[in-house]
Amino acid sequence: MSKPLNWGILGTSFISAVMADAILAEANTHLYAVAGRSLAPLKDFTDKYDFDKVYQDYDALIADPQVDVIYIALPNHLHHEYVIKAAQAGKAILCEKSLSVDMAKTQAALDAVAEHKVFFLEGLMYLTHPFAQKISQLLQTKVIGEVKAIRGNYSAAISEFVNPESKGTLYNLGCYPLSLMHLVLQQAFGDDVFSDYQIQAFGRRGKDGNICDTSANFLFNNGVQAQLHTAEDFGMHSSFSILGSEGYLELKSNPWLPQAKGNKIYFAKYDGEGNETEFEHIEVDAPGNGFVSQVTQVREALEQGLLELTRPATRPQDSFTMMQLLTDWEAAAS
């Protein structure tokens, strides 16, 4: 490309600042424009970061011909609307997770992306990091044999800070362990595994009426089981393990917030009697955190004229399947 890519950011939330920091740290693209509807947060944001253009109207930013790629950092229930508008404007799109809050909005957003042939990525940034790539590599080489069971949890006390219309812990936090479950099963068995599954779930509702604490048991058509839990009104805890016929992988650091250093996997093999006979502590380093990796992969894809990333990063069809799993979980827990 003849000039650095210009980023436009919709929204001035905490995650917008995290992404702005990542764009600056990656240093190969340009932090060009921001749009926010509330004057005070917008001023605070623009006092911290140097933008060429500042808008109080999201549509005006989308219409700016100098904007190459739009980062949608708005609440979940608004994502689909601005994915559609950005696609219609021919912009590349990075949309924060979760893509939407129901399947009709999800389908409308992805239809617009396909119709207008624009780059699209759902912002599950951890899947662009070398830590996720290492997990994927270990699965592909079948170091633990056949995948038999998955257990995952992500809980954090964020309920006071999220928009009630973002629909609670499933779409704010549960999307993380669910998306990693999706990757593991997809890599182990292919997409057919998601064509037939059963789900049982329990949920507790918070002050805003949304599900704030929920656990689910998935049973897939090949007999693999997955137990997932997420909560947004207590704790700060992450865990994820993959149990196989010949061993297991346990992620010892938070897989959903990978850093430049300190990303750890414990790998163990069984003997014929089920005892650990071989184990390894694996550490994965990277040039930066997951957000920096995400910026790099978006830039490289756009420089190559691609419309999506490759696995383990999320492709549009993966976003669709994950949203279906999330909405099924929500229905079962309601």
Give residue-wise pLDDT tens across range 166-205.
999 999 999 999 999 999 999 999 999 999 999 999 999 9
Q: In which domain, by residue range, is 33 found?
A: 6-126+291-311
φ/ψ of 101, rounded to 5, equals: -130, 0
Position 126 confidence tier, pLDDT thresholds 50, 70, 90: very high
Is residue 19 located within the same domain as residue 151? no
Query: Do residues 100 and 320 make contact, with C-beta atoms less than 8 angstroms apart?
Result: no
C-alpha closest to that of 87 among 109, 55, 60: 109
66 DSSP β-pair partners: none
Is residue 103 located within the same domain as residue 158? no
Residue 2: its pLDDT value, please?
Answer: 66
Domain presence at residue 316: no
Burial 266-302 (b: 16+ CB within 10 A, else e): ebbbbeeeeeeeeeeeeebebebbbbbbbbbbbbebb
Is residue 161 located within the same domain as residue 263? yes
Segment 270-299, tens digit of pLDDT: 987 777 787 899 999 999 999 999 999 999
Position 1 confidence tier, pLDDT thresholds 50, 70, 90: very low
What are 251's two structure tokens? 């992620």
C-alpha closest to that of 291 among 2, 56, 71: 71
Domain presence at residue 98: yes
Domain presence at residue 1: no
Is residue 269 located within the same domain as residue 257? yes
Is residue 283 located within the same domain as residue 300? no
Domain presence at residue 317: no
Residue 250 has pLDDT above 50, yes or no: yes
Is residue 265 located within the same domain as residue 154? yes
Kindly list the strands in the beta sheet with 92-96, ordered across the sheet, starting from the edge strand earlier in the chain: 53-55, 30-35, 6-10, 69-72, 92-96, 120-123
Is residue 138 located within the same domain as residue 237? yes
Domain presence at residue 226: yes
What are 234's two structure tokens? 């207590």
Give the mean pLDDT of 305-316.
98
Q: What is the mean pLDDT of the chain?
A: 96
| Tally of domains in the chain | 2
Give, rounded to a whole angstrom, the gap between the first and last alpha carbons of the chain. Answer: 49
Is residue 133 located within the same domain as residue 282? yes
Is residue 137 located within the same domain as residue 115? no
Is residue 107 located within the same domain as residue 152? no
The fraction of the chain above a pLDDT of 90, given in percent, is 96
Domain presence at residue 92: yes
Domain presence at residue 26: yes
Is residue 155 located within the same domain as residue 278? yes
Query: Do residues 149 and 194 make contact, with C-beta atoms less than 8 angstroms apart?
Result: no
- Give DSSP secondary structure letters for 181-220: HHHHHHHHH-GGGGGSEEEEEEEEE-TTSSEEEEEEEEEE
Give the mean pLDDT of 58-82.
98
Is residue 211 located within the same domain as residue 326? yes
Domain presence at residue 37: yes
CATH code of 89's domain: 3.40.50.720
CATH code of 236's domain: 3.30.360.10
- The helix (run of H) or strand (run of E) holding residue 22 is helix 14-26
